[in-house]
Amino acid sequence: MKWIMRFAVVFLGLMMMGGPPEKPPPNRPSGEPTAPPEGEGWVDLLDAEHAPEWQSTTREKTFELDGGVLHIPGSASGSYIGYMEEEFGDFALHIEFRLGEGANSGLMFRAVAKDPVYKGMEIQVLGDHGRPPSTHSCGALYDVAAPMFNLSRPAGKWNSCDMTCQGQDLEVVMNGWKILDVDLSKMTMRIGKFPTPLAALPQEGHVLLQDHHDEVWYRNIRVKKL
């Protein structure tokens, strides 16, 4: 009888704390950031020439640039920080990011600056190391396609994302692993949050970074037109 009472007390305690502790995640692959690309055609969007073209989409400036790093402290109102000098259609992009546990951001692309949420696409940037992949996990085509694996590294470590957009084909490599290979031309119906089928979205637009109230750092943002 005593062991039953002890079990009941422990069980009730766990329920009050939100349930039993999560089990350690099963064995999953891990990766390392890839080196920034160099050579003909690659442009550093954070160098002295291009860094001034980053702008907040709100009147309030919600980011800082220092030493080749774009720092988003996280504002109460939230916003997007976009490279406003030009738009990109077919391109390859390398970007590195670092954020804390649970911190949320996003890489918007082919986006309309005034409405990147519904008139653009997003690769999710999230501090969710060790969690199962989903349409909202790090590396996902947000609300549409889950990555093959969640390759997000532990909080505080740098991650790399290499994305290629060509026509209606989208490929994403995170920390050295290909995690997405999507044919957008097949998406002629509404999927997820989008009121417009992804196949019908503009094939050219801005690159923006999401200020989702959390602190995040970006560096080595390199782009090459294809």
pLDDT at 215: 95
Strand 121-126 to strand 216-225: parallel, antiparallel, or no bridges (unpaired)?
Answer: unpaired
Give the integer Cα–Cα distance in Å for 31 and 86: 32
Q: Give every CB contact of residue 192 below 8 A, 6+ residues apart in sequence.
A: 135, 142, 143, 144
The pLDDT value given to residue 63: 93
- What pLDDT, on a 0 to 100 scale, did the predictor assign at position 25? 60
Domains of the chain: 38-225 (2.60.120.560)
Buried b (16+ CB within 10 A) or exposed e, 160-189: bbbbbbeeeebebbbbebebbebebeebee
Distance from C-alpha of 111 to C-alpha of 187, rounded to nearest angstrom: 17
What pLDDT sits at residue 26?
67
Write down the pLDDT at residue 106: 96
pLDDT average per 10 residues of sequence, the chain (226 residues): 47 46 65 96 97 91 94 89 96 97 95 93 96 96 97 96 98 98 97 93 96 95 98
- pLDDT value for 60: 83
- pTM for this entry: 0.87
Per-residue pLDDT at 15 = 44
